Amino acid sequence: MTRYDLFQLRLCAHTALLRPERSRSSGSAPDRSLVKWFVDHAGRLGCGPLPTLDLGDLEIGIGEVEGRTWIALKPVVEALTAGRRVPPPSSLERRLAWLCRTLALPPLDGAILKLAVRSALFRPFQSLAALAGESHSGRDEINVAGLAALTAHPLERVRQRLKTVCPLRLLGLLEDRKGGDYAPSGTVLQIARLSASGDEALRAALLGRFAPAHLQWDDFAHLGEIRDLAEALVGAALARRSRGINLLVHGAPGTGKTEFARTLAERLAARACFVGEADELDAEPNRRDRVAAFAVARALAARAGRMLLVVDEADDIFTGVDEDDAGKRRGSKVFMNRLVETTEAPTVWITNHPERLGPAVMRRMALAVRLPEPGRERRRIMIGRIAAQRGLALPPRDLDGLADIEAAPAILDSGLRVAKLTRGGARAAALSARSIQQTLLGRVSLTPRKPALFDPALSAADIDLAHLADRVAACPGRALSFCFHGLPGTGKSAYARYLASRLGVDVIERKASDLLSMWVGGTEQAIAAAFAEAAERGAMLVLDEADSLLRDRADARASWEVSQVNEMLTHMEAAQHPFACTTNLMESLDPATLRRFLFKVEFRPMTADQARHAFETRFGDPAPAGLSDLEPLAPGDFAVVARKASVLGVADPAGLLALLSAEVAVKPQAGRARIGFCP
């Protein structure tokens, strides 16, 4: 202990020994254990040994020491009452005084906090408080009776200051250890143990070092106007020093929420201060530690220049605050609301679960920014930049392959880190990213590629597909809906992706199995999420096997079959982004779906000319004479035969024709005569 801390120990000892209810005139003497404490700490109290006391007698039994004890303790009393010059404040005292000023604590609260900290740090304070308060607290704890005894304030008044609605508890400065015992929070101990003691040095130590952003502002261009509004709002708040400006950033894990906060701060030439991420031992903080850290940071931010406070995993702090049942409520609802309303610096609250914050907190947000997973082109740019930062030289083909994985940026970044460490290149990065994606979702979503391989001239339909694509590409609006129906393999899904490429938008492709859920309401939620994602990204939503989602409600046997069709119809009606449904069972769709599709296109088997052209294009040989006898043929048949021929080593036209004939033979429509003119 420093000279100043010893001086504080003497003041506490003086208070404990000469309390109003304990004096020579009253005939009351200290407890034997307390007397022994004075004997053991006589040197620290500024007097010599006490040889007149029989320590053996003092250790026998518990009870009042006889009046003669006062005579034996006379040197201690004289040492404690002697006038002494107050030493200069220690570094610890300056840190604690700074904390009390920063948080505007009342004098008694400051005295309680300082005593609790010294009790946790210095054993003599803790043992004196336990004896004076006749309690048995833990090593880093102090009992409310000890606090009252050593601060010379009535017990009931000290208890009042330790209630949950008062600053020491509301701000998370003291922890309630039950049974009347209290201990400083991790944040308070972190401040107490800092090496710095000046105001500026303390601010710098608590607010941390600047963490540079790893992405650029353009990497969040997929957020659209909301990104620019966030920049304008936070920029204005910093310039005008506006209070109570809160920004909610939410989205699925790994979508770049934390990086967005860093990039936003860097964009505005501000510092991003991440609050309450570890306690004084660099371990996991509890809710009290995080609230205390935020209370300190928000008070500092007012005098720290251009600063953006960031609270990650904000739901940890707010979950339970908005509970109607007071018995289940965590913390004071009014206090937490005021904490948000009066924040001194613009604050970004990050969460994966915005619904856990509660309506009261949500109403105090100025703006909510949802981070969806970026589209393929944006992913490719981000992957290229991250790879360059990690010193990975990836050719365009590898970048394309990684961009095809519909995973969050953090997952892809982790994959690139694996590639760097293992020197496994893009293959290792892809394997890593896919393994995480598979674990999270139970599947790996891949963005369809190479839509240009679709040739409208090789697909037959009841409308000119090439002309339709040209008109769609020239259309200024994006509220375009399509129903592509017909035989399997005729190119329905491929044409949908081709249209997306002509529109210059990403494709979000979902099968019915991706959306159907075993839980009540789960399918409806998945449908809503798919349409919402497409809307946010401005992408084209392609629903394969849509008949499973749009089956005629007249044939429904359960209420959920009706509700999922209703959900689909609602989103189809309101969609302002392109979407397409594909089905092989047009006749099974609910009649109400038909008017929701702007275009209903029937895909048909290939004509003889299309089949001949497809054979020559795919295999590089003239079409054999028997090709025109195969019906019905579809572009998918040629793709399957090409792969099968590669495995079997078949290259001659006759062998290829036999393989095509086998594909046709297994179709239910095989052998049916064509209707109409046959060229």
56 C-beta neighbours (distance < 10 Å), count: 7
Has residue 57 been placed in a domain? yes
> Domain limits at 268?
208-321+330-370
- Same domain, yes or no, for 218 and 363? yes
Same domain, 70 and 32: yes
537 with 574, same domain: the answer is yes
- CATH code at 237? 3.40.50.300
Report the pLDDT value the prediction gives residue 25, as an integer from 0 to 100.
39
Q: Does residue 394 surpass a pLDDT of 70?
A: yes
**pLDDT above 70: residue 95:** yes
Match 């375009």 to its residue by tokens. 480
| Start-to-end CA span in the chain (Å) | 104
Are 510 and 542 contained in the same domain?
A: yes
**Domain presence at residue 149:** yes
Domain boundary among 603, 619, 649: 603
Q: Are residues 162 and 238 in the same domain?
A: no
Question: Same structural domain for residues 402 and 494?
Answer: no
Higher per-residue confidence, 597 vs 202: 597
Three-state secondary structure of 280-329: CCCCCCCHHHHHHHHHHHHHHHCCCCCEEEEECCCHHHHCCCCCCCHHHC
Work out the angle between the directed axes of helices 287-301 and 91-102 (0-180°, nearest 10): 80
**Beta-bridge partners for 103:** none
- Regarding whether 636 and 515 lie in a shared domain, the answer is no
Q: What is the DSSP letter of 89?
A: P
Lowest-pLDDT choice from 27-36, 234-243, 267-276, 286-295: 27-36
pLDDT in the model for residue 326: 47
Contact 508, 533 (CB under 8 A): yes
Where residue 138 falls (left for φ over 0; alpha for ψ -120 to 50; beta otherwise) is: beta
Percent of residues, the chain, with pLDDT higher than 70: 82
pTM: 0.61
Task: Give me 340's structure tokens.
Answer: 């948000």
Between CA 559 and CA 243 the distance in angstroms is 50
Query: What's the structural domain count of the chain?
Result: 6
Asked whether residue 283 falls in the same domain as residue 357, the answer is: yes
Among 78-82, 401-405, 674-678, the range with the most confident prediction by mean pLDDT is 401-405
Candidate ranges 513-517, 578-582, 672-676; pick with highest mean pLDDT = 578-582
Same domain, 172 and 292: no
Q: Averaged over 240-256, what is the pLDDT? A: 89
Which residue, 293, 295, 296, 297, is CA-closest to 309?
A: 297
- Beta-ladder partners of 580: 482, 542
Tell me if 244 is assigned to some domain.
yes
| Interatomic CA distance for residues 466 and 499, integer angstroms | 10
Q: How confident is the model at residue 50 (pLDDT cuts 50, 70, 90)?
A: low
Q: What is the pLDDT of residue 487?
A: 92
Residue finishing a domain among 549, 570, 603: 603
* HSE of 75, CA atoms in CB hemisphere, 13 A: 17
Is the Cα torsion angle 223, 224, 225, 229 positive or negative in sign?
positive
Residue 394: which residues within 8 A CB-CB, separation 6 or more? 383, 384, 387, 402, 425, 426
Predicted confidence band at 598 (pLDDT cuts at 50, 70, 90)?
very high
675 lies in some domain: no
Structural domain includes residue 629: yes
For residues 220 and 298, state if they share a domain: yes
Predicted pLDDT at 498: 94
Can you tell me the mean pLDDT for 640-651?
Answer: 94
Phi, psi values for residue 405, rounded to 5°: -80, 115
| In-domain check, residue 446 | no
* Domain assignment present for 384: no
What average pLDDT does this structure show over 278-284?
53
Do 131 and 228 lie in a common domain?
no
Q: Which of 79, 109, 132 is the last residue of a domain?
A: 79
Gap between the Cα atoms of 191 and 97, Å rounded: 11
Q: Which amino acid is at 288?
A: R
Query: Could you read off the pLDDT of 408-465 as tens digits, one per residue?
Result: 888 899 999 999 999 999 999 999 998 988 887 665 555 544 444 688 989 999 999 9
DSSP letter for 669, please.
Answer: T
Q: What is the mean pLDDT of residues 315-342?
A: 65
Give residue 678's pLDDT: 46
- Residue range 552-581: average pLDDT? 93
How do residues 608-643 score in pLDDT, each as one tens digit?
A: 999 999 999 999 999 999 999 999 999 999 999 999
The CA angle 251-257-258, to the nearest 5 degrees, is 150
Query: Which residue has 């046997």 as its token pair?
Result: 557
Residue 174 CB contacts under 8 Å (≥ 6 apart), including other chains = 112, 113, 116, 162, 168, 182, 183, 184, 185, 188
**Residue 273 near residue 208 (C-beta atoms within 8 A):** yes
The verdict on residue 379 lying in a domain is no
Q: What is the mean pLDDT of the chain?
A: 83
Same domain membership, residue 473 and residue 419: no
How far apart CA 455 and CA 635 sit, in angstroms, is 10
CATH number, residue 170: 1.10.10
Measure CA 639 to chain center: 43
pLDDT digits (tens, 9 = 90+) for 105-150: 899 999 999 999 999 999 999 988 888 877 776 678 899 999 998 9
Buried b (16+ CB within 10 A) or exposed e, 122-152: bebbbbbbbbbbebebeebbbbbbbbbbbbe
**What gap in Å lies between CA 418 and CA 397, rounded to an integer?**
19
Residue type, 14: H
What is the pLDDT at residue 659? 96
Largest CA distance in the chain: 129
